[in-house]
Structure 1
Amino acid sequence: MRSLLKKLFASSLFQNSIASGFWQLSNLLTPLILVPYLLNTLGEAQYGAFAFLQTLMEYGFLLTDYGFLLSATKRVAQETSLSRKAQLLLHVTFIKVVITLLLGLFIFIAFTYLHVKEYEPAAFISLFLVILSYSIFPMWYFQGIEKFKFISMLNALSKAVLVVFVLTTVKTANDLSYAVHAYAVSYAFMGIFGMSYAIYTLRPALHSLLNVKDWLDSKEVQGLLKEGLPFFTSALVPTLYTHLPTIVLKLFTNNLLVGLFSLSFKVIIIAKYALSAFVNVIYPRVCHKATQLAIKALNSYIRKVYTPLWISCLFGCIFIALLAPWIGSLIGVDSQNVEMFTKLLRILSPIPLIVATHVWFSLPLIAYGHNQVFSRAILSGGGLALVWQGICCLFWQQNPPMLTYAVSLGIVFTEIVIGVLFYIGYKRKYALMHAIKTS
């Protein structure tokens, strides 16, 4: 027994899981501290206005990621040459920065011509700096080389910077812009130090590459864009249908309902952190094993390492639904609004379990390169979500509470549809690969 435990603790998978868990723990503790504080300091209406800016941040993160958290991570995990990894760092960073600059131009034009009076100009400048800092942090590179300890420590430090800045600068309901400035400082800290360390690990290869006049290979850039596109579209649609309710509620209701929805969805996001912690660890390993194992053996490996997490997700979702009123009171929701918050949280509570179920089928699809099947499932589900959001606006525009419940329920239905499509695609590809092997 002692030897088994010693072997377990010494395994890189266990150590990476602990490090990734620490990463997600930092992401978990930060909203647990900041959400009640911001809610009580800014008020529910102003918190709704801040939540809208956070939604814009999420869209910015998605656009600059361009699917590289999956496609580039896979390339790094399967690449053995240090010079090739250095080329990937240069090209991916170049693409992400260009996308960020284009996005910054869009933010400037939108702010100039829409004359948004609810927010100060400095808030939009900090919003751009948040997205720029995020874009230069090579998370995909560190996942590919399995440097989870470093990114966990850096993430914890950046979250500590965020908490300190928010607690020391946001003091009244008029300090919404300071909250955005705090995010800018935090992400700048993480982006600069993360990129510096990546350059340090690749310095010999990068030095030789940068001495070459034409270090930027247009064909490589095109190839990376092509590889990332299915993952980008697959990530774009979920971000649209999970954050579109915030936009819809901002347009058709009020900041109070935006705040209540954002708070309930924030709890679900926190629950998903535990799931993504482990998935981030096993993803590069599954991609590597896919080059060595047949699909049946790979499935056995996934079942072995993933089943305990799925069971934990099941119990976690049950506890969220049962403890919804207590969670609302804990984070500081006004007593008059706890009932609505409870209903919203219970509607959204199955989402982590549904997403956890996706992994059984989506991970093998990605590992064996069936990106189009993965992408089609996401796009189909996302298309259904957009139709549902439109129907909700059409029928319940004059009934804000009902509109809020309906758009929340649409997220759950969409995740179920995507899971079914993953299963169908997986079964078809599994049957095909099995038939090829037996023949």
Structure 2
Amino acid sequence: MCLAILPFKCSQILFPYLFTRRWFKAKGPKRVSNQNLRNFIPLLPNAITLIRKIKTAIQQQLLNSGLLKNRIVKNFVSLGSIQVLNFLFPLFLTPYLVRVVGINHFGLISFSQALITYFVTLNDYGFNLSTTREITLNKGNRSKIVQIYCDTLSTKAFLLGAGFLLFLALVLLLSKHSETVYFYLLSYSMVVGQSLFSVWLFQGMEEMKYISFINALSKVVTLVLILLLVKEQQDYVYVNLLYGCGFIVAGIASLVVAQRRYHLTFRFSKWANIVFQLKEGWHIFISNFSVTLYIKSNIVILGLFASKEIVGFYSIAESVINIVRQVLVVYFQAIYPHICRLVLQVKADIRAFIRKVHIPFSLMVLVGCVMVFALSEYITLFFVGYPQAKVTTVLKVLSIVPFIVVLNIPANQLLLALNHKKAYSRILMAGSVLNLLLNLALSYYFLAIGTAVSVILTELFITVGLYVMLEKNSPTFTRLFNSTAFGKGTPFSKKEGLR
């Protein structure tokens, strides 16, 4: 069966499931009472069954198409299995928190988590790329690995302390009530946990199974703690602390694995080594921070102009879109190694790959976006518990975002595979600046709708910009669909290939 019908196979699975649920009736959604977690537990087996059916359909269609090597199919299925937990976690926890702590407090939680992301990015400082590379290149040199391990953790400890002082000053500036200050300070526990989690070590040693296991452990701990301890509205103060406890457990687990698996023991490094690490990772940090700015600034800027209730409405809609975008993350990671191999071969291979794999996948994403738009009222009912027009409107506006993002994946991956990293970073930084300016203008006048429009315009700018940069630096993509532009076996020229 052709891969092009994959979107319709997924639709055949989804539509019967959706329209047989008790809240999807011809008269439209009705109010769902504000019940505790027990009302959601019966839905979990159905949700897991639905995800398994979709995954099986995707796997079968990919195998039948004959376009992908077994390695890519396995990557897609393996990565998809890991992301299932990331998919279910917000799908289950968001409705629970909204019902227990209320929209206002949920908005405050979302605002604080977006703010904390800046400090998590500061603490990561690009080590997931720079240190990963150093560890990979020095696998056989134990003394070098020990030095890299200690230098990285020492630098992260310095950034953790410096970041806390900055965060404290920001909290005292933004908060007017002692309870809110207490809530924000407890939120910094998430940065503490992330600073301990040595993702870069496991990536460099190419043992990603530990990342998957520890990530799952963190989410399970967080979920259990929230279900046990968050019972009423006033408990919102502890939500971010409980998230932080999950991260801290993950961080401690990674330190234990590092000690037992690789016999690595942490010792503080010299100040000169810390300064060297800060200089070495500066450019990667700037690039990563630019991405964080255009992804997380939406909620932060909206929170400066709107009430926490409005922030809560927008956060719920954004959570739904982020669930859909998890599929794009899996797809990107699964096909990127294959794209890197194709750029060393012939242009016609890339053309065939994009036509026979990426276009059908894009159609599947488009079907998903249309479904989110059409079923926005029912999705809102599930997450909020009652019909809420403001959430529904924002969700409809944002529903096109995953399709815009999937359109830029070919240009995104080809720029990276052809080693045009500077051009790639330039577009992301420009997109971050544009997003800040648009948010400051549109969120001030139009609140949540303005923020949603800012996201769409920024994603459109980044998509167009990536293709412009690809054409400017390696004019190949615009000719990929033109069979007369080059022969079937035409390889990339040295100028166009990897540098």
| Greater gyration radius | 2
Match runs of 1:359-438 below 5 Å: 359-392=409-442, 396=445, 402-431=446-475, 434=493, 436=495
1:243 aligns with 2:299: no
Match runs of 1:66-81 below 5 Å: 66-73=125-132, 81=140
Percent of aligned pairs with the same residue?
Answer: 26
Q: What do the CA deviations read for 1:323-346 (whole angstroms, capped 9, x no partner)?
A: 1111000112432xx222111011
CA distance in 2, matches of 1:75, 1:369: 19
1:102 equivalent in structure 2: 162
2:221 equivalent in structure 1: 161
CA distance in 2, matches of 1:76, 1:419: 33
From 365, 378, 399, give the equivalent of 1:326: 378
Instruction: In structure 2, give the amino acid aligned to 1:224.
Output: E
1:232 equivalent in structure 2: 285
Instruction: In structure 2, give the amino acid aligned to 1:327.
Output: I
Q: Match of 1:171, SS? A: coil
2:187 equivalent in structure 1: 127
CA contact (8 A) 1:9 1:15 kept: no
From 116, 122, 125, give the equivalent of 1:63: 122
Instruction: In structure 2, give the amino acid aligned to 1:417.
Output: F
Cα distance, 1:170 vs. partner? 0.7
Q: Match of 1:431, SS? A: coil
From 276, 296, 304, give the equivalent of 2:329: 276
Q: Match of 2:292, SS? A: helix
The TM-score, its normalising length taken from structure 1, stands at 0.82
CA contact (8 A) 1:130 1:187 kept: yes
CA distance in 2, matches of 1:296, 1:76: 34
Q: What do the CA deviations read for 1:245-290 (whole angstroms, capped 9, x no partner)?
A: 322332222111110001001111111122213434555x469759
CA contact (8 A) 2:394 2:452 kept: yes
Unpaired segments ≥5 residues, structure 2: 1-59, 477-491
Q: Match of 1:175, SS? A: helix
CA distance in 1, matches of 2:172, 2:239: 22
Q: Match of 2:320, SS? A: helix
CA distance in 2, matches of 1:42, 1:363: 41
What is the CA RMSD across the aligned residues, in angstroms? 3.7
Unpaired segments ≥5 residues, structure 1: 397-401
Match runs of 1:7-18 below 5 Å: 13-18=72-77
- CA distance 1:237–1:106, shift in 2 (3 Å): same
| Segment of structure 1 superposing worse, 7-16 or 131-140 | 7-16
CA distance in 2, matches of 1:411, 1:362: 18
CA contact (8 A) 1:64 1:96 kept: yes
From 256, 273, 294, give the equivalent of 1:196: 256
CA contact (8 A) 1:377 1:421 kept: yes
Q: Match of 1:25, SS? A: helix
1:354 equivalent in structure 2: 404
Instruction: In structure 2, give the amino acid aligned to 1:320.
Output: V
| Segment of structure 1 superposing worse, 141-150 or 252-261 | 141-150
The TM-score, its normalising length taken from structure 2, stands at 0.73
Cα distance, 1:216 vs. partner? 7.1
Cα distance, 1:391 vs. partner? 2.3
1:314 equivalent in structure 2: 366
1:293 aligns with 2:344: yes
| Segment of structure 1 superposing worse, 109-118 or 130-139 | 109-118
CA distance in 2, matches of 1:295, 1:116: 62
- CA distance 1:154–1:129, shift in 2 (3 Å): same
Cα distance, 1:54 vs. partner? 1.5
Cα distance, 1:136 vs. partner? 2.3
CA contact (8 A) 1:143 1:280 kept: no
1:221 aligns with 2:277: yes
Instruction: In structure 2, give the amino acid aligned to 1:316.
Output: G
| Segment of structure 1 superposing worse, 370-379 or 254-263 | 370-379
Name the structure where helix makes up a greater proportion of residues: 1
Q: What do the CA deviations read for 1:124-164 (whole angstroms, capped 9, x no partner)?
A: 34322211211221224434554343322322222111111
Cα distance, 1:389 vs. partner? 2.0
CA distance in 2, matches of 1:187, 1:17: 26
1:399 equivalent in structure 2: none
2:87 equivalent in structure 1: 28
CA contact (8 A) 1:20 1:148 kept: no
From 147, 150, 168, give the equivalent of 2:207: 147
Q: Match of 2:344, SS? A: coil
CA contact (8 A) 1:234 1:379 kept: yes
CA distance in 2, matches of 1:154, 1:247: 29
Instruction: In structure 1, give the amino acid aligned to 2:212.
Output: S
CA contact (8 A) 2:87 2:323 kept: yes
CA distance in 2, matches of 1:295, 1:279: 21
1:172 aligns with 2:238: no
CA contact (8 A) 1:287 1:368 kept: no
Cα distance, 1:41 vs. partner? 0.7
| Segment of structure 1 superposing worse, 56-65 or 22-31 | 56-65
